[in-house]
Amino acid sequence: MKIAVLGTGTVGTALAGGLSAAGHDVKVGSRTAGEGKVTFAEAAEFGELAFNCTAGAGALDAVGSAAAELEGKVLVDVSNPLEFHDDGPPTLFVANDDSLGERIQRALPGARVVKALNTMNADVMVNPSLVPGDHVAFVCGDDDAAKTTVTGLLGELGWPAGRVIDLGGISAARGTEAYLLIWLRLMGAMGGAHFNIAVQR
């Protein structure tokens, strides 16, 4: 599949590598083209499906600059609404009764937004075996067919369907984004980022 990866940071680099290794044709989008990168809009135009891997504070600008090109396409939103501070850990700039995933879906009503993979470190996204056990990935979004497509792609990255939990509509992004408040503390407590959620019942 032709896939756009919007974002050149740790996540964009990891997902571009993992998706390419799985046999997909990937174009990486950035604010400025050059050095193997194209603009967000050019990447989105190329992709049949796109991943948003941009900084939370810039995500609406990034996907907004490619709104026309993302029309009708699945947009996998991996971003988190983190606001960084000189003193103290990051906070969320949207939470409780709204989320960045919902803001992106409202800003791009023609795109089929699926929130996924934002609850884990980039290495784990593309190499789940870095963490032992049946730990999970979440998807949420308003378009069931889009979630099925994304679950299939996750399978190619090493996440069997039985370890992908569908949390419902895009408003469930409120929960997966707010989890970052715990994730950030866990990273400190665990002394690293290679951990993930396993759900037992």
The footprint of ligand NAP (CB under 6 A) covers 7-12, 30-32, 53-58, 61-62, 78-80, 82, 118, 121-122
Strand order in the sheet with 25-30: 38-39, 25-30, 2-6, 49-52, 74-77, 112-116, 137-141, 164-166
CB 195, min distance to ligand NAP, A: 12
CB 137, min distance to ligand NAP, A: 11
Contact 65, 39 (CB under 8 A): yes
Nearer to ligand NAP among residue 94 and residue 145 (C-beta): 94
Neighbouring CB atoms inside 10 A of 11's CB total: 25
CB 201, min distance to ligand NAP, A: 25
CB 23, min distance to ligand NAP, A: 23
Nearer to ligand NAP among residue 128 and residue 145 (C-beta): 128
- In whole angstroms, give the CA distance from residue 184 to residue 182: 5
Contact 121, 11 (CB under 8 A): no
The CB-side HSE value for 113 (13 A sphere, CA atoms) comes to 27
CB 39, min distance to ligand NAP, A: 9
Nearer to ligand NAP among residue 9 and residue 145 (C-beta): 9
DSSP-assigned letter for residue 195: -
Nearer to ligand NAP among residue 63 and residue 144 (C-beta): 63
- In whole angstroms, give the CA distance from residue 194 to residue 192: 6
Pinpoint the alpha helices (H) of the chain: 10-21, 40-46, 56-64, 67-70, 100-107, 122-126, 144-156, 173-178, 180-190
Nearer to ligand NAP among residue 75 and residue 145 (C-beta): 75
CB 100, min distance to ligand NAP, A: 8
Nearer to ligand NAP among residue 13 and residue 148 (C-beta): 13
